[in-house]
Structures are given as structure tokens and as C-alpha cells.
Chain A
């Protein structure tokens, strides 16, 4: 304070003010970076422009195209009998795994959970229409459970931000399917998802690493659009005995006795060997091996299938 009674800042005061301003701006920048992370909260409606016949009416039997499966997975799928879903009560209300649920009836709600003390996002929660499936994606850095912990349909998910993209790792999944025609995905799979938002569109890219049934990662993508007016109803499911059956019966086809394996190839005019899946069949070079193959002249099955209402054969 000067002699006139007017307060003049000392050099220390000037330094302190400058330092405080720096801290403020650093905090503001850091905060802005936090808030720059995409917010996925809201109601999302699925887009079925990718793989609609597989996702809506359901895959054809023995369609293993685009799947890098090994021979064990192929044999497992060949022996699968769709009767199992109805005959075995324990299958009737079995939900999709979280890796597959994004491809099914995927009306999706996303909301965030905040730490009231810090306002940091602790977790992201999702609710899917199909089987009322709910999932938590932890963002607080917690570790995944030990090997001996239970596995669930949704698995245990943790997420980290990579710029504006949320990368999610899911373990502890129950055994399930990667396609709803019996192609298996094991409980040892690790699923990585990349969530990105472009305005009112959400894209989820899913990478499945399964040491039991895949020879290389299976990569798929699914899209949603923001639909604030969407109302997700209650799914509901109650199992019941629908058919008389011997106690403990498990419908399956014995090796070499599945009569439906050639249907898909025949209906779509595809070489049978190309429908059997495997990593080799995923790549363009595989076409060179299909010598003598002539594609059908016109599409006759699921030609315009993009939503629930035009997916007619």
C-alpha cells in the first residue's frame, strides 16, 4: 500500500495474480478437453443398412460367410439344430451377448453416471430393447475381475478415451454365438469396441478376439441415429415347455447328417465352399480360387432388406 492510501500491487501480488490466471486457464483448458469427449447419452435407433438379412429375419442355416472361424467352430455350427431354442427351456430366454446385442433389435439408451464430488464420468450405462439387457462400462480405471469370477451375457466392460473415441474392452462373457445359426463365440473371447459419434450418428466398431473359435479377429460395425422421441418398451420373456421331449434331450445333428448345410449356397447361387467361412474367404484374393464360378444373373432373396418392413424373401 502506498503512502497516499491507494493500494498498489506489490511485485509478489503481480506474480501471484499471474500465476492464478495461469492456473485458471490451465484448468479451463483441461476442463474443455474433458468436455470435448463425446457424449453418447440419449436414445438411439438402429440402422440396418449393414448385414440386414442376418440381423433382422436372422441368418440362413450354414451361412458362415465373412467369419474367420476355425474348423472346430465350423463343426460346432454344422451340428447345431435350431430346435434347441424351443425344445430346451434354458435356451428360450437366453439373451444376446453384449458383442452381438449391438446387431440385433438394438434400440439403445445410453446414460452417464457422475461422481458427485468431482463431476467426472464414472461409468456409461446402456439399456437395449432385446431382453432388457443392461450394461455398465466403467471409466474409473478399475481392473477386470479375476479368472474365477462369474461370466455374464453382458460381460465386464471398461473404457478409455482415445481422443474423441471411446475404446471399450469386455471380458467375462458367457459362451454365446457370433451368428444366430449356431456359430459359437467362447467365454474366453475378449471384445474391443470403438464408439465414435458424428453428430446424430453413432458408430460402434466391434473386434472379437476368440482364441477358441476364431483364427483372426472378427471386425464388424453397426450404426445408430439419435432418436430423442424413441420409447423403449419392456421386452419380457418367460420360458415354457412347448414340445414334449425326453428328459435332458439336446437337439443336434450328428456329424455328416445335417441335411440343411447346402441350402444357403443353393438359394443364393454361391459356391458351397465359399459359404463355409474361414479367414481365407474374407479377402478379395479368395475370388481367384473360385474358378468357374458364375454369379446368378439376378438377386432373388432378401434383395432390398434394410429394415423390419422390407425384409421379405
Chain B
């Protein structure tokens, strides 16, 4: 089972660790409105807390659950009512079980609702991923509900980082939780085996830009919590979207010229971004190439 868990947590192109170091610390960053961000738990965790309880977007690595809970309790003593999984990988879903236990005293139905796109549950089933599965899936373009007096919209982004990606928009707090569609300090991981594609990533980034409104002069306003990395706003998403789009265009041009995968890699179409973004450039270019050749 450990091997299965590892397979879910560490896809080939992903640079995040499969397990957290023992000295990992969880930091709490208030974002705005009712939303905060927990950093250091593997993937970023978004917390919306209020009088009705807690909503989490993603739950981090399972071994860090005690520390995540301790950090969460600095924000609220309330029960966990909702968990939204942005996608299937276990650095985002590994803490589902431990954090769902903070909702045991919920009124019927007692267990917290774990929301995800239907594809997440299907991937968990088919890949035998050992985490607590979503119990409230959706298969529509979006799903909305209200919690803590805040409208929350969950958008499905088809075939992006995986085939089950969700963006979560907190409409009153004006915060988007983006999952791994947006990772500002590393190349995006396109999980081709689980239905990802470069065009889906770009579509997801453009969807974020469609929602975000800067406060003034391209700064502040709507904040964006990435799957990994620092808190961002629209301008940061633009830089990342431009990078993915430009590399997509370059690889597409090389494919049109009849180049093989090895020739495309040798041309180094991501060279001017390699000093800026972590992760393997070759793996990213390969994923873009294979995605475009499909």
C-alpha cells in the first residue's frame, strides 16, 4: 500500500517531496476576508473559517496531519464541515482522513462533505490510492454553495494538471485556491497518465485571470493561493500563464518543423525560464510535447 501511496504522491515530473521532513513547520498566513493559507504541509492548504465551522481546500501530506491540525486550531476551534480536493495527488489529499475527523461532531450527515470532481474519485478507485475518498463529487462545469455566509464556486478545469482539477473561488473573501494548475515557483506538472494536458493548464490559468480583478495598477484585489509556492495575485498568474503559453507555442512550432522529441529537447525551448522555475525542464518539455502530439 505504501507503494500505491507513493505513486499517488510523486508523479515523475513533480518536484515536491513524497514525504515531509521531520522538522517541517506549518505556517499560517491570513490572506483576506475569512480565508487563510497553511504553508509547509506538502501542498498549500486553504482554510475558510467562520461561525459555521471550517472549510478546507486540500489537506496536505498524511504524516503532517497533527501539525496541520495544530496550525488549524490557531484559526478556529470549529468543526470541519467541508473539504474540497483540487485533484487526486496525495500531497493534496493525504490528510483527508485525519482532518475529516475534526468534523465527527457535525450534525447529520455527520461526516464532513469531501467535494471533488468525479474524476478524482474515479482515479482514487482505479489507482487504489489509500486516502479517504470524496463523498460529494460533481461532474458539471461548476458547483456552488454557501458556507459561513460566503458564496463558494468550485470550477472544474478539464484535462489540466490532471483530469479532475478544481479551482475554488471564495466570492466574498475574493480569494481563489488554484491547486496545482498554478505553481509560481516551479514548472507545472502535467500528469499525462491521469489525463492532464498543457492546453488544459493554460485554460485553467486563463480562467483564473477571468475571475481575478486587481485592486489597482495590477496589484492586490483577488488573491490566488497556488498549489505550491507563495501567495499571489493576478500579475503573478499572468507571468506564469505567459511562460506556459510561450513554451507551448515554441514546442508546437518545433513539432510543425517535424522535430522528434529528442530534437525538441535539444532545442531547449524552455531555456530562458530554466533559471527561474524549479523542476526538470526536460520533463516539462517532454510533457508539453506529448500533450501536443496527442
List A residues at the B interface (Cβ < 8 Å).
70-76, 79, 84, 88, 90-91, 93-95, 131-133, 146-153, 174-175, 186-188, 211-213, 237, 247-248, 250, 252, 254-255
Contact = CB atoms under 8 A, between A and B. Distances in A.
B27 interface: yes
Most chain A CB neighbours (cut-off 10 Å) among B39, B219, B229, B234: B219
Contacts of A79: 246, 272
Contacts of A132: 217
A90 B209 CA distance: 9
Nearest to A152: B219
A261 to B, nearest CB: 15
B78 to A, nearest CB: 24
Nearest to A78: B272
B231 interface: yes
Given A79-B246, A247-B206, A248-B245, A148 B276 contact: no
A90 B206 contact: no
A70 B249 contact: no
Given A148-B230, A213-B276, 6 more contacts: A76-B273, A84-B242, A90-B234, A175-B239, A186-B276, A255-B269
A150 B223 contact: yes
A149 B230 contact: yes
A172 to B, nearest CB: 9
B37 interface: yes
Contact of B219 (A146, A153, A211): A153
A72 B242 contact: no
8 contacts: A72-B274, A72-B276, A93-B217, A213-B275, A248-B202, A250-B249, A254-B250, A255-B250
Chain B contact patch, size range: 35 or more
B232 interface: yes
A212 B276 contact: yes
B89 interface: no
A234 B269 CA distance: 42
Given A90-B235, A147-B230, A148-B39, A72 B271 contact: yes
A146 to B, nearest CB: 7
B250 A75 contact: no
B238 A76 contact: no
Contact of B249 (A149, A187, A252): A252
Contacts of B37: 148
Contacts of B218: 90-91, 93-95, 153
B253 interface: yes
B209 A212 contact: no
Given A75-B272, A150-B233, A88 B217 contact: no
Contacts of B238: 88, 90-91
A132 B238 CA distance: 22
Nearest first, the 4 closest Cβ-Cβ pairs linking A and B are A75-B272, A76-B272, A250-B245, A248-B206
Contact of B275 (A84, A151, A212, A254): A212
Nearest to A213: B275
Nearest to A255: B250
A93 B241 CA distance: 18
Nearest to A186: B276
Nearest to B44: A148
A149 B269 CA distance: 31
Contacts of A175: 236, 239
Contacts of A248: 202-203, 206, 241, 245
A174 B276 contact: no
A257 to B, nearest CB: 9
B29 interface: yes
A148 B272 contact: no
Contacts of B233: 150
Interface string B54-81: 0000000000000000000000000000
A97 B39 CA distance: 27
A250 B217 contact: no
A252 B238 CA distance: 14
A145 B271 CA distance: 30
A70 B274 CA distance: 12
Contact of B242 (A146, A147, A237, A250): A250
A74 B238 CA distance: 21
A159 to B, nearest CB: 22
B232 A150 contact: yes
Contact of A148 (B29, B206, B209): B29
B246 A150 contact: no
A250 B246 contact: yes
